Amino acid sequence: MERTETQPGNSSEPLRQQYHRQLSQYKSANAELADIAWTLSELEQQISTLETALAEEADPQLARRISDLRHWRGALEETVIRHMYRTEELRAALTQLRAALAHDAPPNG
């Protein structure tokens, strides 16, 4: 585990704080992405089940429900894509901060 030492004149402390804030945001974004992906998976299963039922019996209400779910699925897919891009941006920022911290770190001795 990384040890954080706060000393007067430690120029890397603001960088370290920024890294920890970004890391927290990244973890939150990943958790949110996982939740949305799980919801999308459940929605796909529900659509599949309803399509099977519709194939067995023509039901206008069921057809409308499937249409509504497909619309929701499309919106969720857009959300997943946006979250994936956001998560990737955060990961890239973390990589840069990690490199900057490694550059500023005093040699171990």
Q: Considering the chain, what is the average pLDDT of its residues?
A: 87
Q: Would you say residue 5 has pLDDT above 70? A: no
Domain map (residue ranges) of the chain? 22-103
Higher pLDDT, 105 or 7: 105
Higher pLDDT, 8 or 47: 47
pTM higher than 0.75: no
pLDDT tens digit sequence for 53-91: 988 888 899 999 999 999 999 999 999 999 999 999 999
pLDDT of residue 58: 87
pLDDT of residue 8: 46
* Lowest model confidence (mean pLDDT) among 4-13, 66-75, 100-109: 4-13
Label residue 29 by pLDDT band (50, 70, 90): very high
Q: What is the b/e burial string over 69-92, where b = at least 16 CB atoms within 10 angstroms of the residue's CB?
A: beeebeebeebeeebeeebeebee
CATH number of 22-103: 1.20.58
